[in-house]
Structures are given as C-alpha cells and as structure tokens.
Chains A and B, each alone.
Chain A
C-alpha cells in the first residue's frame, strides 16, 4: 500500500535524523493531494510547532496550513477525553488529583500511557475525522511500547470496556493497508544501525507494517568515475599553481572543501549500502537529499515535500 494512501503513519527515528521535518513534509505532501491531515507531536519538544512556525501546539488540533491540523499529545487531556467519550464520566474541572494519581498508575502499568496517546489517534482514524493521521516524534526507544500497547493492556486486563477498546485499536494498527511505521535515518553509522535494529524488533514483536525507511540528508554524488580521476589529478602542485594564478589563493581551501565533500559523501554511501543490504526484502528506502538549506521551518518542510514527492508520487 503506497505510503500516502495510509490513514495512520507513525514516524520514528533516532534523535537528530530529522523525523519532525519528514513528518511535516509528509503532511505537506498529503495536503497537496487534497487530503485532510492531522499531525500530532508526541514528545512535547515543540519542534513540530517550530516547523510550522506557530506557537506551542494545544491538544485540540489547530489548522496550521490549509488542510493540515496539528496538535500536541498530552495524556492528561487524552484521559479526560477518554473518560468523557467512552466511560461517560464528566470529570471536567477537578481532574488534578486524579491526574496525578493516574500518573503513578500509568508509570506502573505497561501500556496505559501509550494506549491513551496512540488510542486518541486511532480514534481519529476510526471516526474518519481526517484522511491521514501522522504521528510524529516517537523516540526509537519508545516506539515498540507504543505499538505494543494494545497487546500489553490486553494481557493486563482481561475484561471490561478497556479490553474492548484495545481490540479496535489493534485492528487499525495491524491493518497493513491502513497503518504503517516510517523510520527516518541519516547516512551515518549509529542511525543506520539503530534503524536496522528497530526494523528487526518491529517485525519480531509487533504485527505493524513498516511502510518505508526514509534516508534523510543524503549528500549528492559529486563526481562519476572519470570525473574523480580528473579531480585527483587537479591536486598536483603544478596544476594547483595554475589554478591559483587564475582564480586566486582561495583555491586551496576550495579544493580542501571538495575533498571534504567527497569524503563525507563516501562515508554516507557506505552506510546507505549497509542499510539497503540488511533491510528485509520489500522494505522500500526513500531518499531525501541534503538540501543545503534551512533544516527546520516551513520552507524546509516544503523542500523536503518536493523531494519526497519525486520518490513517492
């Protein structure tokens, strides 16, 4: 199922790989196709708000761009909504004490917090309030717990309304035509190794589909083979002298810069090759080039959306 046709996309990746930029770009791309998109920031860091150049995001989604609604997850608000919607408990107002108590219970019981956050988003999918729901910013260390939350709750609680609700969540999450995980990585050693590790764990420990691996900030190839031979030859002292005479003394630094660029590109390419070789068959890798531009903000989301569009559309 093509990534952009899914209704629930969970975006994860090691810190610093640009998962928020990629999430925002997916939202931009989907909205360009005329979809109504909800994008939810899970880690309360405020990077999603910064990407759309808006202030702190509330729990109630706000339209940040035509067709894109954004919200920040908050388990207390989610609990409030859950109690109101499903258990018909009107607790508006004096939730303070209960919420603090709930914090400790949620810390103790596996999956409680996760089910409230992911549950809210599955609910939005089920009710079809949006065409696509993008979950941004689940840390790699936490995504398995998120995806396994319905299972964990199911094991903990044998009967009752919660048990029922985990069932429909599971149906949505585990339906490969509706939901999937996107793993964002960069062409560096640690992010690639962690991505491969996580791919293995998602496949072993959950029934959730991996929709795509996004390799972000891939450096462009500078030279083909014959060009590289010329570049090497350029660095002979007498050629450098000739260049200096024509373009000035700065040419030494320019050549150093090009060598640096070649080395960076080469290192990255090796890690990407490892990624491709080790990924299970059928897992697509989508490449987003280094844009040499701003790495956050609205403009970056548009540029990454352009790049993703070339690969996905």
Chain B
C-alpha cells in the first residue's frame, strides 16, 4: 500500500462484480456499524452503475437518511417509493427504489392473503392477542422480513433487492425464521394449544403445563391463545409452502450475504461469528464491508518516525519556526508535540484496524473498506462516496 504520486490509480476489488450477477442481497451485522447506510449506499451505487430497478428494503432508516432519499414524508409505510432521480448526483442508469418494513401492516397483509375465508380473517384480526403475538412470536419480525423479500423477488418488479436485515439480539434469527415457522406448524405444541379445552384437560401430556400455567396466568389468557392458534392453524398450508420457498431462496446462487462491520473489537467479534455461521450453513457469503476505516497511511513507518521526532525535538523546531509563524516558540512547540502525540494514538488505532481487516480477509474472500468520513451521512453526496468506496473506487 505504498502507491506513490504519479502511479496509476489502484483499483481494489469491490462489490461491482459480485452484485452484477445477483438478484438478492442480505446485509447483516450488529447494531451501530452503519448497516442501513451501507445498504442504501450499495443500492444507490448499483442503480447508478449497473442500471436496472434496484430496491432497498430497510427497517428503520435514520431520519436524515430518509430525508436525503426523499422518504422523510409520512405514510411511506409498506409501499415502495422511487427515489427522485433529480436528487441523485451521478445520473443513474437505473432506478432506485426504497421500501420500509412495517411489521404490523405486513402481518395484516399476510393474514389477508392466507386466510381461507373472510370469517377466519376477521376473527384473527380481532383476536386481542393477535397484535401482541404477531409482533413477537416465532421471531415474527425476521419472518416478515423474509416474507417481504420473497414477495418482492417473486413480483419480478426488480432486478436487485437489497435487504437491510432487522436488528436482532441474535443476528441469525432471520435465517432460522422460515424453518421455525414450519416447525411450529408441525409441533405437538400447536396441537395441544388448539385441541378443544375440554379434551385438553384429558390430555396427559399437557396437563402439568395447563395446571401450572393456569395458576400463574389465569384461564382467560390461555383461552385467547388457544383461539388464536386454532384460527392460525387453518393457514398452515400457505405458510409452510412459503417458508420452504423462502429457505430455498436464501441458499440460491442468485442470493448473496454481505456482512457489515466496523473495525473495532466488539463488532469484529460479532462479524467473525456471523461469517462462521454463514459458512457453516453453506449460505452464499459474498463480502464484508468494513466501515469507518482510518487511512492506512497512519501506520506508515515514515510518518511514525516523523511524529516521534516532532515530539522529541518540539522545543528546537518550535523555536526555529516561531518567527515564520509569528507565534511564541513555546506555543508552537506545544502544538507540534500535541500533533505528534495524537498521531501516535491514532496510529495505534489504525494498526489494530489493519490487523482486524486482515483477520476478516482470512474468513471472507472479499473485504471492502469504506474510509472514515468527516461528514455523517445526511446527504446523497456522502452516500455516493460510500457507494463508490464499496465499488473499490476512491
């Protein structure tokens, strides 16, 4: 990494080749690493460079990011919105679309689609526990994200769909969600919950549970649950089929996973775990995007030596430059010493980052660094710069 002046600009491998052959991208990573921003930047870049219709499905974009993309208005909800091309700095060849994931609306939608008849549909939507259950059970949020992905892909409206996966306590819940749904429908548990209450009392297996549960929770509560699941069971066929389709889609060659991280210790630990799990599950791992990377020049020997000398000779140099700067020698010396000391601090951070980046590279064939940027992502220019970085261009 010592590209001196006058040399050809070095093009590092980026996401361009990877995304050119993919139809679905799942962007995962722990919280706070810039996952949503990365998903949006990749989408913007893909629409600009690869063309076609690109959709970014996000969970909860930061207000300023949403504003920048023209999605700040109310009522975007579950609908897909095209980002106004006039807002995009680099005249995209293709179209950039954004959609948010509204769990509640998506569930209502799903129930409406799968319910065998209007009575069942209304009964489910009216069940007092429906909202609570759908917002929590069987990793419902993750399940819904998978459903939307499946839907959007199956709709044939987009060339590329990029999903900013929901933040979850366990980042891989999203991958297990379809299987869990299938397992749930096949479980003895659902059968217990849905047998009529009278025969339920006779069931030897469930008896201890209901005795304990009734004592703790009261009877009505269990009745509501039983009613909900009885209704829910009528939709088994549709749910199980789609779960199987979604699972197949995740492992498809047209799908790729991108793990986003920063190069700090904790996010890298998390990323390492994610990479290991994706590999173990034989899912198509595409790339790691490393955000907020400090310039590698901070580690250069030349610079470290210069910084050390600035500190060591600060008195002498300060005195020599004092006249030219029109400032007291002591003040100049202090500034020089501070510059040198801080350089050392950041150099240590940069060196650790380099080490962690190398470690990630041993776990994933493509690691794309995105430099630390002075401005936070509140405008499309910065988003474009991030997108360019992921393409391996400065």
A: which residues have CB within 8 A of B?
14-18, 20, 43-45, 47, 50, 83, 87, 89, 97-98, 100-102, 104-105, 107-110, 112, 139, 141-142, 156-162, 188-191, 193, 220, 222-223, 226-227, 229-231, 233-234, 238-239, 242-243, 246-251, 253-258, 260-261, 263-264, 267, 292-296
Contacts and interface: CB of A to CB of B under 8 A. Distances in A.
A260 B294 contact: yes
Contact of A227 (B33, B62, B217, B335): B335
Nearest to B62: A190
Q: Give chain A's interface secondary structure class.
A: helix
Given A160-B216, A247-B310, A249-B302, A107 B221 contact: no
B329 to A, nearest CB: 11
Contacts of A256: 295, 297
Given A157-B217, A295-B265, A254 B340 contact: yes
A189 B382 CA distance: 15
B348 A247 contact: no
A47 B269 contact: yes
B216 A162 contact: yes
A272 to B, nearest CB: 14
Contacts of A139: 31, 167, 169
Contacts of B295: 253, 256-257, 260
B310 A109 contact: no
B221 A109 contact: yes
Contacts of B64: 189
Contacts of B340: 254
B338 A188 contact: no
B303 interface: yes
A261 B295 CA distance: 12
Closest 6 CB pairs of A and B: A15-B31, A16-B32, A250-B306, A250-B302, A250-B303, A253-B303
Given A253-B297, A253-B302, A243 B342 contact: no
Interface in B244-279: 262, 264-267, 269-270
B32 A17 contact: yes
Contact of B335 (A157, A188, A223, A260): A223
A157 B331 contact: no
A14 B32 contact: yes
Given A156-B221, A160-B215, A296-B266, A257 B342 contact: yes
B87 interface: no
7 contacts: A102-B209, A109-B217, A193-B62, A230-B331, A243-B321, A247-B305, A247-B306
A20 to B, nearest CB: 8
A229 to B, nearest CB: 8
B306 A249 contact: yes
A220 B266 CA distance: 22
A255 B267 CA distance: 29
